[in-house]
Amino acid sequence: MKFQFTEENLNRIEAAKRKYPNPLAAVMDTIYIAQEQNGYITDEVMEEIANVLSIDKVNVLSVVTFYTMYHTKPVGKYHIQVCTNVSCMLRGAYDIWEGVREKFDLDNMHVTQDGKFSLEEVECMGACGYAPMIAVNEDFFENLNKEKVFEILDSLK
């Protein structure tokens, strides 16, 4: 089925476009809105984003595939991103990564059967000074160890 933005989201996109000198600059806002509506960004969603912004689809694709905050596959209710880049790795990120993988019996970019959790190994998320860190949806958690991560994850309903 063809993806179409809701009327409300089209209004949000128009408001985003007004913030910038050209429609291309509103691509990140628009992808974000699309992801909120659809859950993840498919080829059809990218086509519609390009359509509403009157830009080339490749401009959408390049942004979607660059930033880890955009998903091209379905994710769980809680999408867990574990940074294993240098600063986090040196401070125990792989202990966290392996711990979470074992806890949920999940591989990278997989979702638990109940759809509650998904897991992704990511590169630096810009919180190196507080390494190691994870993100759950849009929340960052920093200065972690495996035990603290499990406490966070166990608190998610």
Answer positive or negative: Cα dihedral of 32, 35, 37, 39.
negative
131 binds ligand FES per the rule CB under 6 A? yes
**Total residues at the site for ligand FES (CB under 6 A)?**
12
* 86 near ligand FES, rule: CB under 6 A: yes
Q: Does 90 bind ligand FES (CB under 6 A)?
A: no
C-alpha closest to that of 37 among 60, 71, 62, 14 = 71
Applying CB under 6 A, which of residues 133, 134, 144, 153 lies at the interface with ligand FES?
133
- If one asks whether residue 135 binds ligand FES (CB under 6 A), the answer comes out as no
Residue 4 or 84: the one with the smaller Cβ distance to ligand FES is 84
Cβ proximity to ligand FES, 20 vs 94, nearer residue = 94
Phi, psi of 81 (to 5 degrees): -115, 125
**Which of 9, 68, 72, 87 contacts ligand FES by CB under 6 A?**
87
31, 33, 52, 88: residue in contact with ligand FES (rule CB under 6 A):
88
Residues 18-77 that bind ligand FES (CB under 6 A): none
Which residues, including other chains, have CB under 8 Å from residue 154's CB and lie 6 or more apart? Answer: none
The contact set with ligand FES (CB under 6 A) reads 83, 85-88, 124-128, 131, 133
